[in-house]
Amino acid sequence: MRPEIIPEPTLVRLTIYGRCLNDLIEEGATLVASDELAHRAGVNAAQVRKDLSYLGSFGRRGVGYDVRHLSDRIATAMGLTKERGFIIVGAGRLGSALMGYDGFNKKGFRAAAAFDADINKVGQAIGSVTIRDINELSSFVQANGTEIGIITVPASFAQSVADSLVKAGIKAILNFAPIVIKVPAGIRYRQVELSSEMEVLAHYLNSQGD
């Protein structure tokens, strides 16, 4: 089974499997069975096998999967074989935290620049980069061919920042601002809704029992 497109829930789980496989490599394991991987990823074994089948069939029946090969296969599928630059727009606390987030580096994402509209912040360093004036955003993206833009500005500015990013030629946007943003077809868009996460927990706290 090898369709051109992989379902999104599968993509998300593949990233989790990828991380579990890294752990297994560090532990010195060379083989892993679907139920071991399932246990580590918090899903069931049939799910793991179905998910992996989207990448081809390279497990060995009666044996399991080769840890290193599977790890490589997932990295390839997730497009992690080359370094990708990203920029962050909005150098507040959240933006600064993401700028130095180690999990991004580990997967080959490199913080290329940070931008802010606040003149007082411009010139300050966060991690290895200097905060730039937001007016330089377009020229920077064009000059560097940056693919991914992360939005961490207040909600009221998020749509216009997204528009600028798109106009500048960015290909994918990860939005942390609490507002649904409209992007043209062809631009990849994902949103992290921090408040929603808490609200869903609150809902469950209220409806006790199950």
Partner DNA sequence: ACTTGTGAAGATGTTCACAGCA
Partner DNA sequence: TGCTGTGAACATCTTCACAAGT
Name which position in 44, 105, 124, 144 contacts DNA (CB under 7 A).
44
Region for residue 118 given its phi and psi (left: phi exceeds 0; alpha: psi -120 to 50; beta: otherwise): beta
110 binds a copy of itself (CB under 8 A): no
174 binds a copy of itself (CB under 8 A): yes
In the complex, least distance from residue 61 CB atom to a copy of itself, rounded to whole angstroms: 27
In the complex, least distance from residue 94 CB atom to a copy of itself, rounded to whole angstroms: 4
10 binds DNA (CB under 7 A): yes
Binding mask 75-94 for a copy of itself (x = CB under 8 A): --xxxx---x-x-----xxx
In the complex, least distance from residue 103 CB atom to DNA, rounded to whole angstroms: 23
| Chain contacts with DNA (rule: CB under 7 A) | 1, 7-10, 32-35, 43-47, 49-50, 52-53, 57-65
| Chain contacts with a copy of itself (rule: CB under 8 A) | 4-6, 8, 11-12, 15-16, 18-20, 40-42, 77-80, 84, 86, 92-94, 96-98, 100-101, 103-104, 106-107, 109, 147-148, 171-172, 174, 178-180, 182, 188, 190, 192-207, 210
